[in-house]
Amino acid sequence: MKRVLLVVCVLFLMAGLVHAKDYELTKKAGPYTVLIAIDKNPPVTGPNKMTLGIKDGGGKDVTDAVVSVDYGMPAMPGMPAMNYKSGTTLKDKQYVANLDFSMSGSWAITVKITRAGKMQAVKLNVDVK
Ligand SMILES: [Cu+2]
Q: How does pLDDT run across 4-25, given as a tens digit for each residue?
A: 655 555 555 555 555 557 899 9
CA angle, 37 as apex, 15 and 99 as ends, to 5°?
125
**For position 12, what pLDDT does the model report?**
56
pLDDT tens by residue, 67-100 = 999 999 999 899 999 999 999 999 999 999 999 9
Which domains, and CATH codes, for the chain? 21-128 (2.60.40.3340)
Please give the distance, rounded to the nearest whole angstrom, from the Cα atom of residue 90 to the centre of ligand 1: 30
**For position 68, what pLDDT does the model report?**
98
Identify residues whose C-beta is under 5 A from ligand 1, the ion: 73, 76, 79
Of the candidates 83, 58, 69, 84, the residue with the CA atom closest to the CA atom of residue 36: 69
**For position 11, what pLDDT does the model report?**
54
What is the pLDDT averaged over residues 45-73? 98
% of the chain surpassing 70 pLDDT: 84
Please give the distance, rounded to the nearest whole angstrom, from the Cα atom of residue 83 to the centre of ligand 1: 11
Torsion of CA 85, 90, 95, 100, to 10 degrees: -40
**For position 21, what pLDDT does the model report?**
72
CA separation for the pair 14, 98 (Å, rounded): 29
Please give the distance, rounded to the nearest whole angstrom, from the Cα atom of residue 102 to the centre of ligand 1: 8
Contacts of 70 (CB under 8 A, 6+ apart): 83, 84, 85, 109, 110, 112
Q: In one letter, which amino acid is 50? A: M
**For position 13, what pLDDT does the model report?**
55
Please give the distance, rounded to the nearest whole angstrom, from the Cα atom of residue 114 to the centre of ligand 1: 29
Please give the distance, rounded to the nearest whole angstrom, from the Cα atom of residue 56 to the centre of ligand 1: 35
**For position 22, what pLDDT does the model report?**
80
pLDDT above 60 for 56: yes
**For position 4, what pLDDT does the model report?**
60
Please give the distance, rounded to the nearest whole angstrom, from the Cα atom of residue 120 to the centre of ligand 1: 27
Please give the distance, rounded to the nearest whole angstrom, from the Cα atom of residue 11 to the centre of ligand 1: 40
Could you give the residue ranges of the DSSP H alpha helices within the chain?
2-19
